[in-house]
Amino acid sequence: MKKKPNEIRPTDSPPWGLLTCIDLYECDPDIIRDAQKIRQFVVELCDLIEMKRFGETQVVHFGEDERVAGYSMTQLIETSLISAHFANKTNTTYLDVFSCKTYDPQAVVDYAKGFFQAKRLNIQVIQRK
């Protein structure tokens, strides 16, 4: 059977990497507007999922359009990257954790939801082959 372009087929081989995308809604506005709290979150998350940080956490506030204005965060890790954007207008956090080292996506979800005090969320977990 010929494989179609972009067709997803299960394999027995382990994934090359794991991406967890978490949209956290109705977050505590004081937390997502605090650069130090965001840095604290990254350190604690990396400790929780046993990822070694590479360099300092970058946290930058920008956005001329009120719809997207807020902090953005990037943290290189030895096995890839953690990033997020914090939208002030909607008090939403868009968090991505990608690593070629395995980790527990549910641990990331639970920790992020609690830290940012989100009331609801949406999750996508993608295995990169």
**Per-residue pLDDT tens over the stretch 10-24:** 556 677 899 999 999
Per-residue pLDDT at 63: 83
As beta bridge partners, residue 99 has: 18, 80
Model-level pTM? Answer: 0.87
Q: Specify the 3-state DSSP secondary structure of 87.
A: strand
Mutual angle of helices 35-48 and 105-116, in 10-degree steps:
150
pLDDT < 50: residue spans in the chain: 3, 6-9
To the question of domain 28-63+71-128 being in CATH 3.40.630.30, the answer is no
* pLDDT score recorded for residue 12: 60
Compute CA distances 116 → 51, 64, 93, 98, whole Å.
20, 24, 8, 20
pLDDT of residue 68: 84
